[in-house]
Amino acid sequence: MREIIFDTETTGLDSREDRIIEIGGVELRDHFPTGRTIHLYINPDGRKVHPDALAVHGITDDFLADKPIFAKVAEEILEFFDGAQWIAHNANFDMGFINAELARLGLPSIPGERVVDTLQIARRKHPMGPNTLDALCRRYGVDNSHRLKHGALLDSELLAEVYIELIGGRQTALGLAGPERTRSIEVEDQSDVVTLKRPMPLAPRLSAAEAEAHKALVKKMGDKAIWTKYGLGAAPTGQ
């Protein structure tokens, strides 16, 4: 199964008028990171960055001036996501912008069945919240200390770790730490292991009186008593 954990930054909150200015994504296969990512800055084609949005992501109009417009990178984005699940936190927001951008180009929208919203997963798993990305990072011990501003690729990388925790935990995602931190586990060859027996059996733990009392109890239970299969409770020997 192929999944892309992604995030977008935009000029504002209205997908009908505002535009995507950054997209980042991390590829997972069977919930393991492959190392493939996508990260693009996009010129909003005349739309100015709203001051409130600027305070969140810090991406300025001047920085975006020489970046390609969405029409120039749409094919690259669609090729990267081709055949994968689109996974985002508060996916309705991101997909609203993605589909609005595709509609402007006359391209079909991404169907809802290909989209997974980690915010909805988090709300079901932790109904008392909070379930922001920062809060989930704290809950699951994901280091987000370097997240001073929102950024599409950084947020995607953090969300990938959170997503793995939401669906089952770190044992499912041993590769998220990257190849430089991957540890191999060596299994010791046990083909030559010899099982030793005690030279002398241990002394019985039951006294003779206790063993006789047990026999008498089993006899009262009748021939179908399960103890009859194991010798009527004779005093056991140790090893």
230's CB contacts (< 8 A; 6+ apart) are: none
Is the bond preceding residue 201 a cis peptide, omega within 30 degrees? no
**Is residue 178 left, alpha or beta, with left meaning phi > 0 and alpha meaning psi from -120 to 50?**
left
State the catalytic residue, choosing from 89, 126, 150, 214.
150
Convert 136-161 to b/e letters by CB count within 10 Å (16 or more is b): bbebeebebeeeeebbbbbbbbbbbb
146 as an active site residue: the answer is no
Convert 192-218 to b/e letters by CB count within 10 Å (16 or more is b): eeeeeeeeeeeeeeeeeeebeebbeeb
> Could you give the angle at which helices 118-125 and 152-167 cross, rounded to 10 degrees?
40
Strands 32-41 and 20-29: antiparallel
Rounded to whole angstroms, the Cα distance separating 114 from 81 reads 10
Q: DSSP strand E in 49-169: where?
A: 85-88, 115-117
Active site (catalytic) residues = 150
